[in-house]
Structures are given as C-alpha cells and as structure tokens.
Chains A and B, each alone.
Chain A
Amino acid sequence: MTVVTKKDQNPVAHLTPEDIEQLGVELDAIRQEVLDTRGERDAAYIRKVIDAQRKLELGSRAVLLASAFPPAFVVGTIGLSIAKIVENMEIGHNVMHGQWDWMRDPKIHSTTWEWDNASTAEGWKHSHNEVHHTYTNIVGKDNDLGYGIMRVDEDQRWVPMYLAQPLWNFINACFFEYGIAAYDLELGKNLKTPKDRRPESFKKAARATLGKIRKQMTKDYVVHPLLSLPTGSFLPTLAANFTANLVRNVWSHSVIMCGHFPEGVETYEKAAIPERETRGEWYLRQMLGSANISGSKAMHFMTGNLSHQIEHHLFPDLPSNRYAEVAPKVQALFEKYDLNYHSASLPAQVYSAWHRVVRLSLPNGWMETTTKENLPSQLKMLWAMTTGDRKVRRVAQLRLEQQARRLRAQKKADVARVA
C-alpha cells in the first residue's frame, strides 16, 4: 500500500471538487433516510440482542460450573466464546459509538457503557471513536495503522525489527484486548518518557486500566473457577475462560484486520489532507480507506456488523442493524462515481491482510523481485540488510526498487504485446 497521493494512478483523480461535494450530499441523504425511519423496531433489536447475550453468558457460565464433565466443558466454552464476541462486537463497540444514544436509555448509552474487555470504555472511546474514526488511514495520525508496532504501509521506512512482525501480529491477535488497552494508553510513547515527566492524564488512565484488568482477571480466572470448585471443575473452568477470551481476541483481531489492512485499501499522507477537510472529502477518505467482508447474516452479526466496515466508517453513529440495508445504496454510489468498493469473503480478506503483514515485514520490492531461482541471492541481500547499517540498507533498498520498477515495466509491455 502506498499513500494515495504517491500512486502512479490516483484513484480519485477523475473526481472534481464539485463531484466530491455532490457525493457528500448523496451520502448525507442516505444517512437521513435511516434517521427518519429509526425507531421502535431498532430499539427492540438492540434490547433483544442484549437480553439474548446476557442469557447466553449466564447459561454458559452455569454449564461451566460442572466443566469437569467434558460435554459441559465443550458446550460452556463455545457458549461463553460467542457471548464474549457478541458483547464486544455487536453490543459494546456499537453502543460506545453512540449508535443507540438516541433511545435516551441511560443503561444503553455511550456515556455509561462498560465492556467485557481489558481496555476501559473511556480510553477506547478516545483512541477509537475520536482518533481512528476521524483520521482514518492517515499515516502518522491514525494509530490503528499497525498500532504503532507494525509496518503496514510502504511509506514506513523498513528496519530489521519488522521481520518479526508476522509473529507480533499473531501474538497481538491472541492477546488482542491487552494490545488494545496498551494502545489506548499510548503505552509505547509514554513508557519512553521519563517517569516524572509522564502526563497526569496517562497516570490516571493507567491506574484505571490496571484496575479494570484486575477485575476482569479476577472474574474469569478466580471467581468462576472457585464457584466451580464444588464439582471439581476449578481448572476446566479456568481453561474455558482462557479459551473463550482467546477465541474472542483472535476473532475480533481478524475482523478488525479485515477492515483496513487488506491489499487495495487506500492510505493517506498527513500533508495531503487539507487543513479544513470538507464533509465530501472526509466521506471519500472513509470510502476508500475501508474494506467489507461479504457473507451470511450470521457472519455479519458475529462481526458486530463491522463486516459493513465501509458503511460503518461513513456513518459510525447509525444503528448497526441498519448497515445491511444501507450497503446496496452505498455500493451504487461507488459505481456511480467509479470508485472501488472493496469487498470479499472472510477467508479472502484475512488472507489478504496477513499477506500484507508478511509482505511489509520485508523491504519494499523484496517479495516482488524474488523467484525460486534467485532465492539464495535474495536471502543473502536480506541478511545483509538486516545485519548492515543504515547506509547498506539504503543502497540495497534503492536497488530492489529499481529492479521492481523494471519488472513492472516489462510486465506492462508483455500485456500490451498480447493485446
């Protein structure tokens, strides 16, 4: 991925400023249609989901009281995993977005909701709602791009540390909730600051997060295992809770990776964003900076409707149950304005996102220029780049890019000849 402005072919070059504003007007109209029909049916939906999720969690935890009995372990673990996923994705994420604030129910409100996750609602609302949703895919401003630990864009300079990023990404997936908590706290940046110069706001947020993690751990790994003790199910219940958290983490990490990481999703350069971005321009950035997952109703539900990532990024405060009906209208607009509506199945998007993580763990152009025949020499160069100093890397990088360019030009010529 390269920021839009540095691409050979800018995907929005064919749009005039008037087109972009008209696009904004048309998207506003779609939003208004939903607002005008939002009501009892939607309220009943979210209440039903919350009701069902709580009963599922309660039931699963009850079954786990006897988890020494293998079928109970299996049923309880599956139930608890689903309950935790629904709680985080379809309920927590969306309630904290303010999608249900219009109901004026203080119990289902962005200002009061707290979720079953290591990160606090407060911290997450800032880093996700405010930073990520406003500065979506702007390199250097949207920390969701690689979470500050990964290279997800060609424009990020390659350093040897990135070779390990597939491993980081896998570990991050398994313990995603802690990754999110650390990321909400901007832990990397703050830990580098000397202790006495860390902002008061960070100390407060860190205390709150540690308190939350302690409570979450006590619940999953102490209280419920102890409650299962009478049936001799302490360890199985502990394992079930650990598994459910793991499943939830890997699932939510995968879904979120699909939202912005797949190949073909656009990223933006900080300097290229106008000082006062218009509504139309903001909409356009959201349209090209997100990717959808196609699939069944059940899949959409389990992703918290984040499978409709494009629609969610255009209208983050519309109730999630309405994204499905909005999607065809949004897609029609993509076609009308000749833009790429990025949508693929879950396996395809997960593969694509992982492909990008692996590709960018290597220097730009390395994968492109590597064939079976030149593998030994390529590996030798990679080794040199990894162990060498900055100068060695720069020289090797220039050569790689030159080779890649040549390769591309040749391919183009081949295609032209065939045609």
Chain B
Amino acid sequence: MSSSVPLLTTTAGRRPGSTTLRARLERIANAAVTPLVPADYLDLFNPLRAGAELRGKVVAVTPETADAATIVIRPGRDWAGHVPGQYVRVGIDVDGVRQWRAYSLTHGPRPDGNISITVKAVPDGVVSHHLVHRVRVGTLVHLEQATGEFVLAPEVTDGPGTAKLLFVTAGSGVTPVVGMLRNLFPVTDAGVVRPARSAHLDITVVHVAPSRPDSIFIRDLEALDAAGAIHLVARYDDVHGLLDVDTLGDLVPDLGERATYACGPGGLLDALEAHHAARDLVLYTEQFRPATLVVGEGGEVTFAGGASVETDGATTLLDAGESAGVLMPSGCRMGVCFGCVVPLKEGSVRDLRNGALTTAVPGETGPEGIRIQTCITAAAGPCHLDV
C-alpha cells in the first residue's frame, strides 16, 4: 500500500505536466497584475475571447415593424449554443445603467454562429425602447447561456411518424415559436425550404395580435403558410374581435389530435390551461410578461436568512433589518459611506432623500440583484434583500 501511493502520484503527476506549467504561468500572470486579474487586461483587447465573461457584440439591427426590431448578436467564444424556443438573458447599458432582460432566440443555431433576438418596444419599456430605436451596431452586451424548457421534444422533431402540433402565440409571444419554425423550415433567398427532416410535421399556428400591422413576424408566418409548411390561423382583435379560447376547437378542428405549445401573456395562458385541462389535452406553455410589482409605501421586507419584518414607508431598510435581528452591514447611516450596501433581489425601494424608486425583478435585473444603500432607502412594497 505504502509503496503504491508514491508510484501512483508519480505517474499521475507526469501526465498533467503541461497543466502544472500552465498553472504556474497563470500564477505569475496573476502576481504581475494584482490586485486586478489578467482578464481585466485581456478584456481591453478581446472581450469576446474564450475564457472571458460571456458577452456579445451587436452586428446588425433590422426593423421588423414600426416598434419592433431584430438584433443580431455575435456571442463570445464560450457561447454553448441553444435549442430553438429557448431564451437568453441580455445585459445592456441603458443611460449608463446595466439592465437585464430575457428575450427569446428567434433563430435556430445559425451557420454564422450569430444569435438573434426580436424585441418589441413596449410602453414605458426602458430596455425594449433602447434596443429597438437606439442600440448601435458594435455595442457590447452581456449574455448568459441560453435557457428555457419551452422547446420541442426530440421525439417530436426527430420522428418517426407524423407529429401534429398546434402553436398558439399572442403578441411578442410569437418570438420563441418563430425561433422553432425557422429552425424547422429555413427561409432562404429562394423562399422557404422544407427539409426532409421536417416532412413529418403537421403544424397549425394560431396567431393572436391587436392588428396585422402590429404583428411581428407576420410576414414570416404568412410565407411559411404560403409554402405549405404551416397552416396559419391569424386572429386580429380589430378584425375578428378578442379571441374566446372556448372557440379554439372551431378554429382548429383536429385540436384533439395535436400537442399545443402556447406562448403569450398570463391571461391567455390561464384560459388555455383551463380549456385544455377540461378536455384532457397536452399543453406546453411559456409566459411572456413579468409579474407586475406592487409599488406602495412600506411593505414586508424579507431576508436571505428567512427573517421578515413589516415596515412603513418611512423606516429605513437598515433599521428594519436590525429590528428583525438581521446582521446588517452599516456605516455612516446618512447615505455617505456606502458601507451598508446589500443586494435587492426583488421588489421596489424608495430613496428617502429624493423619492427615487429602484426596482428589482427576478429574472430581469442582474443575476446578483441591485445593490442598494439600506440606510437611506425604505420599502416601497414587498421586497427581498440578500443579506
């Protein structure tokens, strides 16, 4: 036993000789640039390199409608790829402030390695307006790896046998579906291609929108319909009136044979869920609007350790946390020293000096939350602090 141990270590030690050399070089590089890290310097020259934090560069911005645009992004070398229907979280600086939002990827994996998102400028949407109207080619954005369960199962895409699908999309909920369809039926200069791998698919798309000009990707859907790749049922509120989900069976006669993929606002999805549950039909959904936040005066403040406290709109979060027995970092207690800064993970807080609101939405704002000064902010509705 005792003799085999050194033997093992020697043989094991020789092989990764290159990695120990590499580790040694890394140590020297680290020692040469402390307190920074080598990446801080490498990022100056190549922010998209392998090993860098995941970023992307905007390479094209194409208007889709008056208030929607497709943004093509060249992702960094470490982009791990995606499956059609998935979404990506994008961090972009708007007016100098880093904002994070999730967007569906509107292409399948592309030969040029780029990815694209299609954004509709929503009223009061800080980020969507910036992306549609102001973002310039060359802008650097921050990315996370693609994620999302709203994808076609392999047994559907790979066959064998005919797969009958129904997509129900509303508003910008069309984007992940377009991502899936483009992957199944690539659109080329010569028109829609119907590859053999997709021949077994029988797809109906029910597309709901306020009007035709308001529909992103409507031309794509119509082209796919004209080429026979899909059967499109477009429902415009201004022509057909608001869609009543109970009439879905009239729009899609063979509804019972189809698996439904639905993406849109919560109201529509809730109605569909009730409708499908009553008829025992298969439904996959993706909700496309964040839950609205309650903004008010005061509220329940919860902490990472599980403590919670009910506060009014005049009590600082620092006082609230301390009264709840949480070990809050603190300093000058007057907004000067930034010694009390902790991440706000969810909810809204108000700066007591000037009334400014700061809001964190899980899945929207940065992964680490928004760091706030607890000594001069109070809860403006329920909120959660990571401390």
Contacts and interface: CB of A to CB of B under 8 A. Distances in A.
A and B found bound together: yes
Interface of A: 28, 32, 35, 38-44, 51, 54-55, 58, 96-98, 101-107, 109-111, 114-116, 125-126, 129-130, 133-134, 212, 215-216, 218-219, 222-224, 227, 282, 316-317
B96 A125 contact: no
Interface of B: 28, 31-36, 40-41, 44, 93, 95-99, 331-332, 334-339, 341, 353-354, 356, 365-366, 368, 370-371, 373
Given A40-B95, A58-B41, A104-B98, A223 B336 contact: no
A-B pairs, 3 with minimum CB distance: A43-B96, A98-B338, A129-B337
A111 B341 contact: yes
Contacts of B356: 35
A40 B35 contact: no
B334 A125 contact: no
A39 B31 contact: no
A227 B98 CA distance: 38
B366 A134 contact: no
A59 to B, nearest CB: 11
Contact of A39 (B41, B44, B96, B337): B96
Instruction: Report which residue of B95, B337, B373 has the largest number of chain A beta carbons within 10 angstroms of its beta carbon.
Output: B337
A219 B34 contact: yes
B337 A125 contact: yes
Contact of B339 (A109, A130, A212, A216): A130
Given A110-B341, A129-B337, A212 B35 contact: yes
Contacts of A110: 338, 341
Contacts of A97: 338
15 contacts: A28-B354, A51-B44, A58-B41, A101-B338, A102-B96, A103-B98, A104-B97, A104-B98, A104-B371, A110-B338, A111-B341, A115-B35, A129-B336, A129-B338, A219-B33
Given A40-B96, A55-B44, A106-B366, 12 more contacts: A28-B354, A40-B93, A42-B96, A102-B96, A103-B93, A106-B368, A110-B341, A125-B338, A134-B332, A215-B31, A223-B28, A317-B336
Nearest to B373: A98
A40 B98 CA distance: 11
Contact of B334 (A40, A103, A116, A282): A282
A113 to B, nearest CB: 9
A51 B140 CA distance: 15
Nearest to B329: A111
A111 B371 contact: yes
A216 B365 CA distance: 36
Given A54-B44, A104-B97, A104-B98, A215 B338 contact: no
Provide the main secondary structure of the chain A interface. Answer: helix
A141 to B, nearest CB: 12
Contacts of A55: 44
Contacts of A216: 34-35
Given A212-B35, A219-B32, A104 B366 contact: yes
Contacts of B335: 317
Contacts of A114: 35-36
A28 to B, nearest CB: 7
A154 B5 CA distance: 72
B12 to A, nearest CB: 30
A125 B339 contact: yes
B376 to A, nearest CB: 10
Contacts of A133: 332, 336-337
Contacts of B41: 54, 58
Given A35-B354, A103-B98, A317-B338, A130 B35 contact: no
A107 B97 CA distance: 13
Contacts of A224: 32
B38 to A, nearest CB: 11
B35 A215 contact: yes
Nearest to B34: A215
Contact of A134 (B96, B336, B365): B336
Contacts of B96: 38-44, 102-103
A58 B38 CA distance: 11
Nearest to B331: A130
A241 to B, nearest CB: 12
A32 B354 contact: yes
Nearest to A43: B96
A407 B139 CA distance: 70
Contacts of A115: 35
Contacts of B366: 104, 106
Contacts of B336: 129-130, 133-134, 316-317
B341 A98 contact: yes
Contacts of B370: 104
B353 A103 contact: no
Given A40-B93, A51-B44, A130 B337 contact: yes
Contacts of B365: 104
Nearest to A58: B41
Contacts of B44: 51, 54-55
Contacts of A51: 44
Nearest to A109: B371
B332 A130 contact: yes
Contacts of B95: 39-40
